[in-house]
Chain A
């Protein structure tokens, strides 16, 4: 993954979030306060704009800049969580100009670790972690087969992970106030995480 591919990844994520904003909002209305779609759209639009202005020269720098924009513009819990995740992933890539599949995998591991450290969620809490954890495992398992293959595996696992949040009872975030009533609804954070990995799969398949 070079800087162009990484930028394409962020742009595609922004497009997917924009296209799916209403669905994310509907998921968040069911078990939250209905702002996840709008917040992510705003945050990623700001990230794409920031990337256009700052013109980072390495994939890691793209991710750090994205993280910073997300913290600055998203709001809610998603801002700090995604922001920290992207920043940690970017730092893991350092100044490398072309990251190998293994290095991208390590960046995803760092993303997950950052999110878990900040939000303290574990698998089963019905959060974005439930999509990202299987995605990271699937990516690492397939990294030897190249970036596109690993990304597709991760996207598939993330999508399945998001759907798997449906029967869970939320133990974190606003959905947790609903207790048992959070069961039967997909977690919006897991859904947007699935879009992130879907975006990665799409841009790596083309390259």
Chain B
């Protein structure tokens, strides 16, 4: 295992020190492991909080800042944060107008956030929860833990953050997040597995000519194994999966996301295919993101996230944002 780390068990605390040193606009509570805005919560504004396992950077800490998250709770690598930590993030985000919890749909995240919301209510902080579950790779979700929350988390954090910054109340901010979730679907493909530092070896094995189709972001095997194919084919499989679940038309917002180890030049090759696929289907791209936004340590691969946004949602997308990972309008 070759990683740019010190001791494997210290990766998260040391990464938090690095983020604090790199981003003066962030306040990092090292003891409680919370990343929040350096200026503190904005009084009268709905606070927007998310969190989850570390290893998906820039998600979530890299999205803390004006126009997006107020606070994030980073757990151990690929491990849900604990209730006390989420409560500390909620307190750090509380401007007296309530707090929205954006929760990716994983059992651990859902349970820990639920317990934290109850603790927050005990402290008279009103909490609304929106669960993100955009991954189309999980089928028959009645017989599973449900669809995973992946790329739509980034969209929801941006739009809920914008709505909150614009003065919307808690119910409205939650409604925006829920609508983003309803209108967004994702699908991912891995070319390599990833290695959790404390595990010391990859989560699964992939042959030189194999890919995992329908992957999540925690390094678990995908839904099916496939043959390595040119980017055009892999992208088509991903876009077809999204389109089969939510027929794409009109104008969309697209994120072509790197899983962490795929170079940007390859992400652009893939995005050219995404753009072609959409054009071939008569769909226009209103806005896009190409890069590493919700990663899985050192996994090579990509995910595509497509949102069918209304004009209102598009305006929230365009609203100014100033975070380590996303910045425009300011």
Known pairs A35-B78, A38-B76, A39-B76; A77 contacts B108 (CB<8 A): yes
Which residues of chain A come closer than 8 Å to B53, judged between CB atoms?
A: 33, 75
Which residues of chain A come closer than 8 Å to B218, judged between CB atoms?
A: 32-33, 174
Q: Which residue of the partner chain, among A72, A73, A118, A177, contacts B144 with CB atoms under 8 Å?
A: A177
Q: Within residues 300 to 314 of chain B, which ones have a CB less than 8 A from any CB in chain A?
A: none
Which residues of chain A come closer than 8 Å to B145, judged between CB atoms?
A: 171-174, 176-177
**In the bound complex, do residue A29 and residue B199 qualify as a contact, i.e. CB atoms below 8 Å apart?**
yes
Which residues of chain A come closer than 8 Å to B58, judged between CB atoms?
A: none
With CB as the reference atom, state the residue of chain B lying closest to A118.
Answer: B111
Question: B318 an interface residue at 8 Å Cβ cutoff?
Answer: no
**In the bound complex, do residue A34 and residue B78 qualify as a contact, i.e. CB atoms below 8 Å apart?**
yes
**In the bound complex, do residue B221 and residue A181 qualify as a contact, i.e. CB atoms below 8 Å apart?**
yes
Known pairs A34-B196, A38-B198, A72-B84; A172 contacts B76 (CB<8 A): no
Q: Mask for B91-119, Cβ within 8 A of A = 1, else 0? A: 00000000000000011100110010000
Q: Interface segment, B135-143, B243-251, B267-275?
A: B135-143
Q: Within residues 131 to 184 of chain A, which ones have a CB less than 8 A from any CB in chain B?
A: 169-179, 181
**In the bound complex, do residue B221 and residue A72 qualify as a contact, i.e. CB atoms below 8 Å apart?**
no
Residue total for B at the interface (Cβ-Cβ under 8 A) = 38
**In the bound complex, do residue A29 and residue B203 qualify as a contact, i.e. CB atoms below 8 Å apart?**
yes
**In the bound complex, do residue A80 and residue B115 qualify as a contact, i.e. CB atoms below 8 Å apart?**
yes
**In the bound complex, do residue A77 and residue B80 qualify as a contact, i.e. CB atoms below 8 Å apart?**
yes
* Chain A min CB distance to B286 (Å): 30
Question: B79 an interface residue at 8 Å Cβ cutoff?
Answer: yes
**In the bound complex, do residue A39 and residue B107 qualify as a contact, i.e. CB atoms below 8 Å apart?**
no
Q: Which residue of the partner chain, among A34, A35, A172, A181, contacts B107 with CB atoms under 8 Å?
A: A172
List, sorted by A's number, 9 A–B pairs whose CB atoms are closer than 8 Å. Answer: A30-B221, A34-B219, A35-B199, A71-B115, A76-B108, A77-B106, A77-B111, A173-B145, A174-B216
B residues neighboring A (CB under 8 Å): 53, 75-84, 106-108, 111-112, 115, 137-140, 143-145, 148, 196, 198-199, 201, 203-204, 216, 218-221, 223-224
Which 4 A-B residue pairings sit nearest by Cβ, starting from the closest? A176-B144, A33-B218, A77-B108, A80-B111
